[in-house]
Structure 1
Amino acid sequence: MTADPLRIGILNLMHDKVDTQLRFTKVLSEGPYNVDVQYFYPQTHYTSRPVPDLVQKISQPLDLKQVATMDAFIITGAPIEQLTFEEITYLDEIHQLIDVLVANNIPQLYVCWGAMAAANYLYDIPKFQLPEKIFGVFHNYLRAQDPLLKGLPDGFLAPHARYAELDIDKIMEDSRLVINAVTKNNFLFSFRAREKNQYFLFSHLEYGKDALLKEYLRERNANPGVEYIKPQNYFRDPLHMKDPEFSWETTQRVFFDNWLHSVADHIATQQFVKE
Protein backbone atom coordinates (compact mmCIF):
# COMPACT_ATOMS: atom_id res chain seq x y z
CA MET A 1 0.00 0.00 0.00
CA THR A 2 1.42 3.37 -0.98
CA ALA A 3 1.37 6.21 1.56
CA ASP A 4 -0.17 8.64 -0.88
CA PRO A 5 -3.10 7.77 -3.17
CA LEU A 6 -2.39 7.00 -6.79
CA ARG A 7 -3.65 9.98 -8.79
CA ILE A 8 -5.38 8.62 -11.85
CA GLY A 9 -6.90 10.81 -14.54
CA ILE A 10 -9.59 9.51 -16.86
CA LEU A 11 -10.84 11.15 -20.05
CA ASN A 12 -14.42 9.89 -20.17
CA LEU A 13 -15.62 9.67 -23.78
CA MET A 14 -18.34 7.08 -23.27
CA HIS A 15 -22.02 7.70 -23.99
CA ASP A 16 -23.17 6.48 -20.56
CA LYS A 17 -20.90 8.84 -18.64
CA VAL A 18 -22.33 8.29 -15.16
CA ASP A 19 -22.25 4.50 -15.44
CA THR A 20 -18.75 4.64 -16.93
CA GLN A 21 -17.45 6.67 -14.01
CA LEU A 22 -19.12 4.38 -11.51
CA ARG A 23 -17.54 1.36 -13.23
CA PHE A 24 -14.01 2.74 -13.35
CA THR A 25 -14.20 4.09 -9.81
CA LYS A 26 -15.37 0.68 -8.61
CA VAL A 27 -12.69 -1.41 -10.32
CA LEU A 28 -9.92 1.00 -9.31
CA SER A 29 -11.01 1.69 -5.72
CA GLU A 30 -11.53 -2.00 -4.91
CA GLY A 31 -7.94 -2.76 -5.85
CA PRO A 32 -4.90 -3.06 -3.58
CA TYR A 33 -4.08 0.68 -3.59
CA ASN A 34 -5.66 3.86 -2.40
CA VAL A 35 -6.64 5.85 -5.50
CA ASP A 36 -7.75 9.37 -6.26
CA VAL A 37 -9.61 9.36 -9.59
CA GLN A 38 -10.26 12.58 -11.52
CA TYR A 39 -12.57 12.57 -14.54
CA PHE A 40 -12.19 14.94 -17.48
CA TYR A 41 -14.10 15.81 -20.63
CA PRO A 42 -12.62 17.19 -23.91
CA GLN A 43 -13.31 20.90 -24.11
CA THR A 44 -13.37 20.99 -27.91
CA HIS A 45 -16.26 18.52 -27.95
CA TYR A 46 -18.47 21.42 -26.81
CA THR A 47 -17.21 24.36 -28.87
CA SER A 48 -20.51 24.74 -30.72
CA ARG A 49 -22.86 23.95 -27.83
CA PRO A 50 -23.01 24.36 -24.06
CA VAL A 51 -21.40 21.74 -21.88
CA PRO A 52 -24.28 19.67 -20.44
CA ASP A 53 -24.94 20.29 -16.75
CA LEU A 54 -24.43 16.60 -15.97
CA VAL A 55 -21.01 16.54 -17.65
CA GLN A 56 -19.93 19.63 -15.69
CA LYS A 57 -21.22 18.09 -12.47
CA ILE A 58 -19.34 14.79 -12.71
CA SER A 59 -16.14 15.85 -14.51
CA GLN A 60 -13.99 18.82 -15.35
CA PRO A 61 -12.58 20.28 -18.56
CA LEU A 62 -9.36 18.65 -19.69
CA ASP A 63 -6.47 20.61 -18.21
CA LEU A 64 -3.10 19.52 -19.60
CA LYS A 65 -1.17 21.17 -16.78
CA GLN A 66 -3.13 19.10 -14.29
CA VAL A 67 -2.69 15.99 -16.45
CA ALA A 68 1.08 16.43 -16.20
CA THR A 69 0.85 15.89 -12.42
CA MET A 70 -1.02 12.57 -12.65
CA ASP A 71 0.46 9.19 -11.72
CA ALA A 72 -1.40 7.43 -14.54
CA PHE A 73 -4.04 8.18 -17.13
CA ILE A 74 -6.85 6.32 -18.90
CA ILE A 75 -8.63 7.28 -22.11
CA THR A 76 -11.91 5.40 -22.31
CA GLY A 77 -13.70 3.94 -25.27
CA ALA A 78 -16.30 5.93 -27.20
CA PRO A 79 -19.26 4.86 -29.39
CA ILE A 80 -17.69 6.50 -32.45
CA GLU A 81 -15.55 3.74 -33.93
CA GLN A 82 -17.66 3.76 -37.11
CA LEU A 83 -16.48 7.32 -37.81
CA THR A 84 -13.13 8.09 -39.36
CA PHE A 85 -10.60 9.75 -37.09
CA GLU A 86 -10.81 12.88 -39.22
CA GLU A 87 -14.50 13.22 -38.33
CA ILE A 88 -13.82 13.46 -34.59
CA THR A 89 -14.00 17.13 -33.63
CA TYR A 90 -11.90 16.75 -30.47
CA LEU A 91 -9.16 14.52 -31.94
CA ASP A 92 -6.51 17.27 -31.80
CA GLU A 93 -7.19 17.70 -28.10
CA ILE A 94 -6.70 13.98 -27.57
CA HIS A 95 -3.41 14.15 -29.48
CA GLN A 96 -2.28 17.02 -27.24
CA LEU A 97 -3.23 14.94 -24.20
CA ILE A 98 -1.21 11.96 -25.47
CA ASP A 99 1.77 14.23 -26.12
CA VAL A 100 1.69 15.40 -22.50
CA LEU A 101 1.44 11.84 -21.20
CA VAL A 102 4.40 10.72 -23.31
CA ALA A 103 6.51 13.79 -22.50
CA ASN A 104 6.00 13.26 -18.76
CA ASN A 105 6.43 9.47 -18.89
CA ILE A 106 2.99 8.92 -17.34
CA PRO A 107 1.65 5.33 -17.55
CA GLN A 108 -1.12 5.18 -20.14
CA LEU A 109 -4.07 2.79 -20.45
CA TYR A 110 -6.07 3.23 -23.65
CA VAL A 111 -9.40 1.38 -23.87
CA CYS A 112 -11.27 0.30 -27.03
CA TRP A 113 -11.74 3.43 -29.22
CA GLY A 114 -9.21 5.20 -27.01
CA ALA A 115 -6.75 2.44 -27.90
CA MET A 116 -7.56 2.79 -31.60
CA ALA A 117 -7.04 6.55 -31.59
CA ALA A 118 -3.82 6.39 -29.56
CA ALA A 119 -2.27 3.57 -31.60
CA ASN A 120 -3.13 5.37 -34.81
CA TYR A 121 -1.54 8.60 -33.56
CA LEU A 122 1.53 7.07 -31.91
CA TYR A 123 2.28 4.21 -34.31
CA ASP A 124 0.23 4.92 -37.43
CA ILE A 125 -1.81 1.72 -37.07
CA PRO A 126 -4.87 1.85 -39.37
CA LYS A 127 -8.43 1.23 -38.20
CA PHE A 128 -11.00 -0.65 -40.28
CA GLN A 129 -14.69 -1.49 -39.97
CA LEU A 130 -15.72 -5.01 -39.01
CA PRO A 131 -18.36 -6.83 -41.10
CA GLU A 132 -20.44 -6.98 -37.91
CA LYS A 133 -19.99 -5.90 -34.34
CA ILE A 134 -17.94 -8.16 -32.09
CA PHE A 135 -20.26 -8.21 -29.11
CA GLY A 136 -20.30 -10.55 -26.16
CA VAL A 137 -18.01 -12.53 -23.91
CA PHE A 138 -15.19 -14.47 -25.55
CA HIS A 139 -12.18 -16.56 -24.65
CA ASN A 140 -8.86 -14.77 -25.07
CA TYR A 141 -5.56 -16.54 -25.70
CA LEU A 142 -2.10 -15.44 -24.60
CA ARG A 143 0.39 -14.53 -27.30
CA ALA A 144 3.15 -13.11 -25.11
CA GLN A 145 4.06 -12.81 -21.45
CA ASP A 146 2.41 -9.74 -19.98
CA PRO A 147 2.60 -8.42 -16.39
CA LEU A 148 -0.99 -7.15 -16.61
CA LEU A 149 -2.25 -10.63 -17.48
CA LYS A 150 -0.22 -12.41 -14.81
CA GLY A 151 -2.44 -14.86 -12.95
CA LEU A 152 -4.91 -15.37 -15.81
CA PRO A 153 -5.19 -18.74 -17.60
CA ASP A 154 -4.89 -19.15 -21.33
CA GLY A 155 -8.41 -18.74 -22.68
CA PHE A 156 -9.53 -16.25 -20.02
CA LEU A 157 -12.95 -14.63 -20.52
CA ALA A 158 -13.49 -10.96 -21.33
CA PRO A 159 -16.24 -8.78 -22.85
CA HIS A 160 -15.82 -7.23 -26.31
CA ALA A 161 -18.11 -4.59 -27.84
CA ARG A 162 -16.94 -2.74 -30.94
CA TYR A 163 -17.60 -2.16 -34.63
CA ALA A 164 -13.99 -1.63 -35.67
CA GLU A 165 -10.55 -3.16 -35.29
CA LEU A 166 -6.93 -2.21 -35.83
CA ASP A 167 -4.77 -3.83 -38.50
CA ILE A 168 -3.20 -6.70 -36.54
CA ASP A 169 -0.60 -7.33 -39.25
CA LYS A 170 0.66 -3.75 -38.93
CA ILE A 171 0.97 -4.21 -35.18
CA MET A 172 2.94 -7.43 -35.62
CA GLU A 173 5.26 -5.73 -38.12
CA ASP A 174 6.09 -2.92 -35.69
CA SER A 175 9.05 -3.96 -33.53
CA ARG A 176 8.05 -1.35 -30.93
CA LEU A 177 4.82 -3.23 -30.14
CA VAL A 178 3.95 -6.68 -28.82
CA ILE A 179 0.52 -8.36 -28.93
CA ASN A 180 -0.43 -9.87 -25.57
CA ALA A 181 -3.68 -11.70 -26.24
CA VAL A 182 -6.30 -12.27 -28.95
CA THR A 183 -9.61 -14.10 -29.29
CA LYS A 184 -10.01 -17.40 -31.13
CA ASN A 185 -10.91 -15.40 -34.26
CA ASN A 186 -7.83 -13.21 -33.89
CA PHE A 187 -9.60 -10.13 -32.59
CA LEU A 188 -7.38 -8.02 -30.36
CA PHE A 189 -7.62 -8.24 -26.60
CA SER A 190 -4.51 -6.15 -25.93
CA PHE A 191 -1.07 -5.10 -27.03
CA ARG A 192 1.58 -2.90 -25.47
CA ALA A 193 4.61 -0.80 -26.30
CA ARG A 194 7.85 -2.64 -25.54
CA GLU A 195 9.82 0.35 -24.27
CA LYS A 196 7.10 2.75 -23.10
CA ASN A 197 4.42 2.52 -20.43
CA GLN A 198 1.59 2.36 -22.96
CA TYR A 199 -1.10 -0.32 -22.89
CA PHE A 200 -3.81 -0.75 -25.53
CA LEU A 201 -6.84 -2.68 -24.25
CA PHE A 202 -9.67 -3.59 -26.62
CA SER A 203 -11.95 -5.36 -24.15
CA HIS A 204 -14.28 -3.27 -22.00
CA LEU A 205 -12.95 -4.88 -18.85
CA GLU A 206 -14.44 -2.10 -16.73
CA TYR A 207 -17.92 -3.39 -17.63
CA GLY A 208 -19.99 -4.83 -14.82
CA LYS A 209 -22.52 -7.63 -15.04
CA ASP A 210 -25.33 -5.66 -16.75
CA ALA A 211 -23.26 -3.41 -19.01
CA LEU A 212 -23.49 -5.47 -22.23
CA LEU A 213 -27.27 -5.68 -21.85
CA LYS A 214 -27.49 -1.92 -21.26
CA GLU A 215 -25.38 -1.27 -24.36
CA TYR A 216 -27.62 -3.47 -26.50
CA LEU A 217 -30.79 -1.80 -25.19
CA ARG A 218 -29.33 1.68 -25.68
CA GLU A 219 -28.50 1.02 -29.33
CA ARG A 220 -31.82 -0.70 -30.02
CA ASN A 221 -33.86 2.03 -28.35
CA ALA A 222 -31.97 4.75 -30.21
CA ASN A 223 -32.79 3.12 -33.57
CA PRO A 224 -35.89 0.94 -33.12
CA GLY A 225 -36.04 -0.05 -36.80
CA VAL A 226 -32.54 -1.52 -36.82
CA GLU A 227 -31.84 -5.17 -35.98
CA TYR A 228 -28.80 -5.16 -33.69
CA ILE A 229 -26.64 -8.16 -32.90
CA LYS A 230 -27.24 -9.49 -29.40
CA PRO A 231 -24.38 -10.06 -26.95
CA GLN A 232 -23.05 -13.60 -27.34
CA ASN A 233 -22.04 -16.06 -24.61
CA TYR A 234 -23.54 -13.74 -22.01
CA PHE A 235 -27.01 -14.84 -20.94
CA ARG A 236 -27.81 -18.01 -19.07
CA ASP A 237 -31.12 -17.81 -20.95
CA PRO A 238 -30.04 -16.45 -24.37
CA LEU A 239 -33.40 -17.17 -26.04
CA HIS A 240 -35.17 -14.68 -23.77
CA MET A 241 -32.09 -12.51 -23.12
CA LYS A 242 -32.36 -13.12 -19.38
CA ASP A 243 -29.97 -13.73 -16.52
CA PRO A 244 -26.68 -12.22 -17.72
CA GLU A 245 -23.58 -13.85 -16.27
CA PHE A 246 -20.61 -11.88 -14.90
CA SER A 247 -18.17 -14.46 -16.23
CA TRP A 248 -15.26 -12.01 -16.65
CA GLU A 249 -15.27 -10.81 -13.03
CA THR A 250 -12.01 -12.59 -12.21
CA THR A 251 -10.34 -11.25 -15.36
CA GLN A 252 -11.45 -7.74 -14.42
CA ARG A 253 -10.08 -7.94 -10.90
CA VAL A 254 -6.76 -9.51 -11.90
CA PHE A 255 -6.15 -7.05 -14.75
CA PHE A 256 -6.88 -3.85 -12.85
CA ASP A 257 -4.99 -5.04 -9.75
CA ASN A 258 -1.99 -5.77 -11.98
CA TRP A 259 -2.31 -2.39 -13.71
CA LEU A 260 -2.41 -0.51 -10.41
CA HIS A 261 0.60 -2.50 -9.24
CA SER A 262 2.47 -1.51 -12.41
CA VAL A 263 1.62 2.15 -11.77
CA ALA A 264 2.89 1.92 -8.18
CA ASP A 265 6.07 0.22 -9.39
CA HIS A 266 6.58 2.99 -11.95
CA ILE A 267 6.27 5.66 -9.26
CA ALA A 268 8.71 3.82 -7.00
CA THR A 269 11.21 3.48 -9.84
CA GLN A 270 10.93 7.16 -10.73
CA GLN A 271 11.49 8.16 -7.10
CA PHE A 272 14.53 5.88 -6.87
CA VAL A 273 16.02 7.44 -10.02
CA LYS A 274 15.52 10.95 -8.63
CA GLU A 275 17.24 10.00 -5.38
Structure 2
Amino acid sequence: MGKKIGILNLMHDKIDTQKRFSHVLKAAEPRVAISYFYPKSHYLNRPLPQNCPAEPLDLAKIEKLDGFIITGAPIELLDFTAVDYWQELTGLFDFLKAKEIPQLYVCWGAMAALHYFYGISKHPLPEKIFGIYPQEILATAPILSGLVEGFRAPHARYAEMNREEIEAEKALTINAATPDGHLSLVTGPDKQAFLFSHMEYGPQAFKKEYQRELSARGGDDRGLAKPQQYFANESAMSLPQFTWESTQQHFFKNWLAAI
Protein backbone atom coordinates (compact mmCIF):
# COMPACT_ATOMS: atom_id res chain seq x y z
CA MET A 1 0.00 0.00 0.00
CA GLY A 2 1.30 3.46 -0.88
CA LYS A 3 1.89 6.29 1.53
CA LYS A 4 -0.93 8.63 2.42
CA ILE A 5 -0.15 12.33 1.89
CA GLY A 6 -2.26 15.35 2.76
CA ILE A 7 -1.90 18.71 1.03
CA LEU A 8 -3.28 22.05 2.20
CA ASN A 9 -3.73 23.83 -1.10
CA LEU A 10 -3.41 27.59 -0.57
CA MET A 11 -2.58 28.54 -4.14
CA HIS A 12 -4.92 30.67 -6.25
CA ASP A 13 -4.75 28.28 -9.23
CA LYS A 14 -6.06 25.38 -7.17
CA ILE A 15 -6.84 22.96 -9.96
CA ASP A 16 -3.45 23.44 -11.65
CA THR A 17 -1.73 23.14 -8.27
CA GLN A 18 -3.51 19.88 -7.53
CA LYS A 19 -2.55 18.51 -10.94
CA ARG A 20 1.10 19.47 -10.38
CA PHE A 21 1.42 17.86 -6.96
CA SER A 22 -0.50 14.76 -8.04
CA HIS A 23 1.80 14.40 -11.03
CA VAL A 24 5.09 14.74 -9.16
CA LEU A 25 4.07 12.59 -6.20
CA LYS A 26 2.60 9.79 -8.30
CA ALA A 27 5.64 9.86 -10.56
CA ALA A 28 7.78 9.36 -7.46
CA GLU A 29 5.52 6.68 -5.94
CA PRO A 30 2.64 5.46 -8.14
CA ARG A 31 0.67 4.01 -5.21
CA VAL A 32 0.66 7.22 -3.20
CA ALA A 33 -2.76 8.35 -1.97
CA ILE A 34 -3.28 12.12 -1.84
CA SER A 35 -5.95 14.10 0.04
CA TYR A 36 -6.36 17.82 -0.70
CA PHE A 37 -7.68 20.29 1.87
CA TYR A 38 -8.59 23.98 2.06
CA PRO A 39 -8.74 26.24 5.15
CA LYS A 40 -12.36 26.50 6.30
CA SER A 41 -11.88 29.95 7.82
CA HIS A 42 -10.93 31.43 4.44
CA TYR A 43 -14.40 30.68 3.08
CA LEU A 44 -16.63 31.77 5.95
CA ASN A 45 -17.87 34.82 4.03
CA ARG A 46 -17.06 33.91 0.45
CA PRO A 47 -18.04 31.10 -1.90
CA LEU A 48 -15.73 28.21 -2.61
CA PRO A 49 -14.06 28.33 -6.02
CA GLN A 50 -16.12 26.56 -8.65
CA ASN A 51 -15.25 22.85 -8.87
CA CYS A 52 -13.02 23.19 -5.80
CA PRO A 53 -10.88 20.02 -5.83
CA ALA A 54 -10.42 19.80 -2.06
CA GLU A 55 -12.22 19.20 1.22
CA PRO A 56 -12.33 21.33 4.38
CA LEU A 57 -9.37 20.95 6.70
CA ASP A 58 -10.09 18.17 9.20
CA LEU A 59 -7.44 17.34 11.80
CA ALA A 60 -9.05 13.97 12.53
CA LYS A 61 -8.33 12.90 8.93
CA ILE A 62 -4.82 14.34 8.98
CA GLU A 63 -3.82 12.27 12.00
CA LYS A 64 -3.93 9.14 9.83
CA LEU A 65 -1.55 10.47 7.16
CA ASP A 66 2.11 9.60 6.57
CA GLY A 67 3.15 13.11 5.53
CA PHE A 68 1.73 16.55 4.92
CA ILE A 69 2.48 19.37 2.46
CA ILE A 70 1.46 23.01 2.80
CA THR A 71 1.69 24.85 -0.49
CA GLY A 72 2.71 28.36 -1.29
CA ALA A 73 0.26 31.26 -1.56
CA PRO A 74 0.57 34.59 -3.42
CA ILE A 75 0.51 36.62 -0.21
CA GLU A 76 4.21 37.04 0.62
CA LEU A 77 3.83 40.78 1.21
CA LEU A 78 1.03 40.43 3.77
CA ASP A 79 1.80 40.30 7.47
CA PHE A 80 1.28 36.76 8.68
CA THR A 81 -1.37 37.77 11.20
CA ALA A 82 -3.30 39.61 8.47
CA VAL A 83 -4.01 36.29 6.75
CA ASP A 84 -7.63 35.41 7.50
CA TYR A 85 -6.89 31.72 8.06
CA TRP A 86 -3.77 32.29 10.21
CA GLN A 87 -5.28 30.86 13.39
CA GLU A 88 -6.49 27.75 11.57
CA LEU A 89 -3.09 27.35 9.92
CA THR A 90 -1.11 27.63 13.14
CA GLY A 91 -3.43 25.08 14.72
CA LEU A 92 -2.47 22.75 11.88
CA PHE A 93 1.23 23.50 12.45
CA ASP A 94 0.91 22.54 16.10
CA PHE A 95 -1.04 19.39 15.27
CA LEU A 96 1.48 18.16 12.68
CA LYS A 97 4.35 18.67 15.09
CA ALA A 98 2.57 17.09 18.05
CA LYS A 99 1.60 14.02 16.01
CA GLU A 100 5.13 13.81 14.51
CA ILE A 101 3.77 13.84 10.95
CA PRO A 102 6.58 14.70 8.48
CA GLN A 103 6.05 18.16 7.02
CA LEU A 104 7.01 19.75 3.71
CA TYR A 105 6.35 23.49 3.61
CA VAL A 106 6.58 25.17 0.18
CA CYS A 107 7.37 28.84 -0.57
CA TRP A 108 4.89 30.96 1.47
CA GLY A 109 4.04 27.86 3.47
CA ALA A 110 7.73 27.63 4.40
CA MET A 111 7.81 31.31 5.34
CA ALA A 112 4.75 30.95 7.56
CA ALA A 113 6.05 27.83 9.32
CA LEU A 114 9.52 29.28 9.93
CA HIS A 115 7.95 32.39 11.40
CA TYR A 116 5.55 30.47 13.61
CA PHE A 117 7.92 27.80 14.93
CA TYR A 118 11.12 29.84 15.15
CA GLY A 119 10.17 33.52 15.02
CA ILE A 120 12.05 34.10 11.75
CA SER A 121 11.11 37.41 10.12
CA LYS A 122 10.53 38.07 6.44
CA HIS A 123 11.19 41.08 4.25
CA PRO A 124 10.14 42.10 0.75
CA LEU A 125 12.64 41.62 -2.04
CA PRO A 126 13.66 44.61 -4.19
CA GLU A 127 12.19 42.69 -7.11
CA LYS A 128 10.58 39.31 -7.57
CA ILE A 129 12.93 36.35 -7.83
CA PHE A 130 11.40 34.62 -10.81
CA GLY A 131 13.03 31.95 -12.90
CA ILE A 132 15.28 28.92 -12.89
CA TYR A 133 18.51 29.26 -10.94
CA PRO A 134 21.51 27.07 -10.08
CA GLN A 135 21.76 26.08 -6.44
CA GLU A 136 24.69 25.74 -4.08
CA ILE A 137 24.56 22.79 -1.68
CA LEU A 138 25.55 24.22 1.70
CA ALA A 139 24.77 21.17 3.85
CA THR A 140 23.96 17.66 2.67
CA ALA A 141 20.66 16.00 3.58
CA PRO A 142 18.83 12.84 2.47
CA ILE A 143 16.23 15.00 0.72
CA LEU A 144 18.98 16.23 -1.64
CA SER A 145 20.31 12.76 -2.44
CA GLY A 146 21.31 12.43 -6.09
CA LEU A 147 21.47 16.19 -6.66
CA VAL A 148 24.84 17.75 -7.49
CA GLU A 149 26.31 21.19 -6.94
CA GLY A 150 24.64 23.62 -9.32
CA PHE A 151 21.38 21.71 -9.64
CA ARG A 152 18.67 23.89 -11.15
CA ALA A 153 15.49 24.83 -9.32
CA PRO A 154 12.53 27.19 -9.95
CA HIS A 155 11.85 30.23 -7.75
CA ALA A 156 8.89 32.63 -7.81
CA ARG A 157 8.37 34.96 -4.85
CA TYR A 158 8.35 38.58 -3.72
CA ALA A 159 9.77 38.10 -0.22
CA GLU A 160 12.56 36.32 1.64
CA MET A 161 13.16 35.11 5.17
CA ASN A 162 15.92 36.62 7.32
CA ARG A 163 18.95 34.45 6.65
CA GLU A 164 20.94 35.69 9.65
CA GLU A 165 18.11 34.70 11.98
CA ILE A 166 17.96 31.23 10.44
CA GLU A 167 21.72 30.80 10.79
CA ALA A 168 21.48 31.82 14.44
CA GLU A 169 18.82 29.18 15.17
CA LYS A 170 20.65 25.96 16.14
CA ALA A 171 17.66 23.78 15.25
CA LEU A 172 17.73 24.89 11.60
CA THR A 173 20.10 24.12 8.73
CA ILE A 174 20.31 25.96 5.42
CA ASN A 175 20.88 23.15 2.95
CA ALA A 176 20.72 24.96 -0.37
CA ALA A 177 20.58 28.48 -1.76
CA THR A 178 21.26 30.35 -4.98
CA PRO A 179 24.77 31.77 -5.48
CA ASP A 180 23.45 35.25 -4.60
CA GLY A 181 21.96 34.00 -1.34
CA HIS A 182 18.28 33.35 -2.04
CA LEU A 183 17.07 30.46 0.12
CA SER A 184 16.14 27.19 -1.51
CA LEU A 185 15.95 24.56 1.26
CA VAL A 186 16.05 24.73 5.05
CA THR A 187 15.57 21.69 7.27
CA GLY A 188 14.65 21.46 10.93
CA PRO A 189 13.86 18.86 13.57
CA ASP A 190 10.80 16.58 13.59
CA LYS A 191 11.13 15.90 9.84
CA GLN A 192 10.44 19.52 8.91
CA ALA A 193 11.51 20.64 5.42
CA PHE A 194 11.12 24.26 4.34
CA LEU A 195 11.31 24.46 0.54
CA PHE A 196 11.49 27.92 -1.03
CA SER A 197 11.66 26.61 -4.57
CA HIS A 198 8.44 25.75 -6.37
CA MET A 199 9.76 22.28 -7.11
CA GLU A 200 6.28 21.10 -8.09
CA TYR A 201 6.08 23.49 -11.06
CA GLY A 202 5.83 21.88 -14.48
CA PRO A 203 7.19 23.22 -17.77
CA GLN A 204 4.31 25.66 -18.44
CA ALA A 205 3.92 27.04 -14.90
CA PHE A 206 6.18 30.09 -15.23
CA LYS A 207 4.59 31.14 -18.51
CA LYS A 208 1.13 30.91 -16.94
CA GLU A 209 2.23 32.84 -13.86
CA TYR A 210 3.71 35.65 -15.94
CA GLN A 211 0.63 35.89 -18.15
CA ARG A 212 -1.65 35.92 -15.09
CA GLU A 213 0.28 38.80 -13.51
CA LEU A 214 0.38 40.64 -16.82
CA SER A 215 -3.38 40.28 -17.19
CA ALA A 216 -3.91 41.57 -13.63
CA ARG A 217 -2.00 44.71 -14.64
CA GLY A 218 -4.14 45.23 -17.74
CA GLY A 219 -1.33 44.16 -20.05
CA ASP A 220 1.17 46.73 -18.73
CA ASP A 221 4.51 44.92 -18.40
CA ARG A 222 6.48 47.90 -17.05
CA GLY A 223 8.36 46.75 -13.97
CA LEU A 224 6.89 43.25 -14.21
CA ALA A 225 9.44 40.50 -13.57
CA LYS A 226 9.94 38.14 -16.49
CA PRO A 227 10.98 34.50 -16.01
CA GLN A 228 14.77 34.20 -16.06
CA GLN A 229 16.70 31.31 -17.65
CA TYR A 230 13.40 29.71 -18.64
CA PHE A 231 12.63 30.47 -22.28
CA ALA A 232 14.87 29.14 -25.04
CA ASN A 233 14.06 32.35 -26.91
CA GLU A 234 14.08 34.96 -24.15
CA SER A 235 13.52 37.98 -26.40
CA ALA A 236 10.30 36.46 -27.75
CA MET A 237 9.47 34.76 -24.44
CA SER A 238 8.84 31.47 -26.22
CA LEU A 239 9.83 27.81 -25.96
CA PRO A 240 9.79 27.15 -22.20
CA GLN A 241 12.55 24.78 -21.09
CA PHE A 242 11.93 22.15 -18.36
CA THR A 243 15.51 22.23 -17.06
CA TRP A 244 14.58 21.33 -13.47
CA GLU A 245 12.81 18.06 -14.31
CA SER A 246 15.57 15.85 -12.93
CA THR A 247 15.78 17.96 -9.77
CA GLN A 248 12.02 17.61 -9.30
CA GLN A 249 12.11 13.83 -9.70
CA HIS A 250 14.95 13.38 -7.21
CA PHE A 251 13.47 15.74 -4.65
CA PHE A 252 10.01 14.20 -4.36
CA LYS A 253 11.34 10.63 -4.45
CA ASN A 254 13.73 11.54 -1.65
CA TRP A 255 11.03 13.21 0.43
CA LEU A 256 8.62 10.29 0.13
CA ALA A 257 11.40 7.81 0.91
CA ALA A 258 12.36 9.72 4.08
CA ILE A 259 8.92 9.91 5.67
| TM-score exceeds 0.5 | yes
Match in the other structure for 2:184: 189
Equivalent position SS for 2:28: coil
1:125 aligned partner, one-letter code: I
Match in the other structure for 2:37: 40
Equivalent position SS for 2:253: helix
Q: 2:47 aligned to 17, 38, 50, which one?
A: 50
Q: 2:202 aligned to 205, 208, 221, which one?
A: 208
Gaps of at least 5 residues in structure 1 are: 264-275
Equivalent position SS for 1:10: strand
Match in the other structure for 2:144: 149
Q: Write the mapping of 1:21-170 to structure 2, written as runs, cut at 5 A.
A: 21-32=18-29, 34-55=31-52, 58-170=53-165
Aligned length: 257
Equivalent position SS for 1:54: coil
Q: Check the 8 A contact 1:159/1:203 in 2, yes or no.
A: yes
Q: Check the 8 A contact 2:2/2:29 in 1, yes or no.
A: no
2:225 aligned partner, one-letter code: I
- Does residue 173 in structure 1 map to residue 168 in structure 2? yes
Q: Displacement, 1:152? A: 0.6
- Residues 96 and 141 of structure 1: CA distance in aligned 2, closer, same or farther (over 3 Å): same
Separation in 2, partners of 1:146, 1:178: 10
Gaps of at least 5 residues in structure 2 are: none
Q: Displacement, 1:52? A: 2.8
Q: Displacement, 1:203? A: 0.2
Identity rate of aligned residues, in percent? 50
Note the alpha carbon deviations across 1:214-241, whole angstroms, 9 max, x for none.
0000011011235311000001000000
Using the size of structure 2 for normalisation, the TM-score is: 0.97
1:212 aligned partner, one-letter code: F
Match in the other structure for 1:19: 16
Q: Displacement, 1:94? A: 0.5
Q: Write the mapping of 1:216-255 to structure 2, written as runs, cut at 5 A.
A: 216-224=210-218, 225=220, 227=222, 228-255=224-251
Separation in 2, partners of 1:50, 1:238: 39
Using the size of structure 1 for normalisation, the TM-score is: 0.92
Equivalent position SS for 1:261: helix
1:13 aligned partner, one-letter code: L
Q: Displacement, 1:82? A: 1.3
Which is further off, 226-235 or 141-150? 226-235
